[in-house]
Structure 1
């Protein structure tokens, strides 16, 4: 299991940052080689128990990343939003904790993830965490800048 964190500042209000990150319909447009094949909904429709599947890869090298929402509390009235999602696929397991807080006119975003990729030994955890941090950071920046 590898753990990593991505922290970003956004000029967007917390509610807009939240909506962009958790709008599963946008993931198809901004994340290469990934398509939401089940549960493609906007952030406002996510509830505890919501299940969604991201198919990542190409041809025979593709796999399903199955995720289930544990908790989801959008930011409101100056309070941060928090979501917890767990991954229960056969290739990728782990959990995600998203935190989006107001910061002046903008917001602060924190994405913390525990990730285990089947077939990757624990000894390569630092490599897995570094590569995942870079990929997720890139994707989060694109989601926050998408219009």
Structure 2
């Protein structure tokens, strides 16, 4: 599996950065060709066991990225919010470790991920990791900027 980390500094307070990063409706708005569905679509509603699906497609051709929240803790004024999410799809596998920490008058967002793509040889893990890091970095910056 490929691994990567995205680290972003934000002027947003940790609770607001957390809300925006885990606003699953916003993922559909800012990630091209992707629609996210699930029973719970907001940061404050996600609990261990929450399941959601990011469907990426062009017309009828696409794949489902199935995810399950394994652990989640909301951020507080002086402690970080953390989430551990497993990817259980047929095409994309792996896990996400999210941490949103208070930092001065803003926050830091750390998104670490293991990602495996079915059919892609391990030899290409460095390339997969770099492409994923760029794509997720762009998505996270858009989520933080999205007022929803």
Give the TM-score, by structure 2 length: 0.97
Structure 2: state its 5+ residue gaps.
none
- Cα pair 1:49 1:69 within 8 Å, conserved: yes
Say which SS state the counterpart of residue 62 (structure 1) adopts: strand
Say which SS state the counterpart of residue 78 (structure 1) adopts: coil
Partner deviation per Cα, 1:64-109 (whole Å, 9 max, x = no partner): 0000000010111310110000000000000000000000110011
Say which SS state the counterpart of residue 55 (structure 2) adopts: strand
Say which SS state the counterpart of residue 71 (structure 2) adopts: strand
Greater mean deviation of Cα atoms: 114-123 or 31-40? 31-40
Greater mean deviation of Cα atoms: 28-37 or 90-99? 28-37
Shift of 1:59: 2.4
For residues 40 and 26 of structure 1, what CA distance do their matches in structure 2 show? 13
Structure 1: state its 5+ residue gaps.
none
For residues 131 and 68 of structure 2, what CA distance do their matches in structure 1 show? 23
- Cα pair 2:40 2:46 within 8 Å, conserved: no
Shift of 1:39: 3.2
For residues 131 and 3 of structure 1, what CA distance do their matches in structure 2 show? 11
For residues 12 and 25 of structure 1, what CA distance do their matches in structure 2 show? 19
Mapping for residues 4-15 of structure 1, pairs under 5 Å: 4-15=4-15
Say which SS state the counterpart of residue 49 (structure 2) adopts: coil
Where has structure 1 moved over 3 Å in runs of 4 or more?
Answer: none
Say which SS state the counterpart of residue 119 (structure 2) adopts: coil
Give the TM-score, by structure 1 length: 0.97
1:146 paired residue number: 146
